[in-house]
Amino acid sequence: MKTNHSIRHFVYAGGVQIPRESTMRGEWPCDAKCSCGWESRTGGGTPSYVAQMVREHKWDVAHGFYVKEEN
């Protein structure tokens, strides 16, 4: 059974995490979350760093290396 993964991007504004919108401009500290439970957990990383983490997560999923963490 194959699961679809959907990535959501978030930014931090005044210490609060809010969804990123396409109309937002400039550099915002950000994070990303996947529908499978994976999170970047940077606490406000640069957009390029979080994008790299998302690419790595997608590669891991595509090649069968991602195992969901049980907490």
pLDDT in tens, 7-59: 999 999 998 999 999 998 988 999 999 999 999 999 999 999 999 999 999 99
Q: What is the 3-state secondary structure (H, E, C) of 44-62?
A: CECHHHHHHHHHHHHHHHH
Q: Are 33 and 63 in contact (CB under 8 A)?
A: no
**Confidence at residue 70, expressed as pLDDT on a 0 to 100 scale:** 67
| CA–CA separation, 5 and 19 (whole Å) | 17
On the question of pLDDT at 67 being above 90, the answer is no
Q: Are 10 and 40 in contact (CB under 8 A)?
A: no
Rounded to two decimals, the pTM is 0.84
pLDDT tens sequence across 21-32: 999 898 899 999
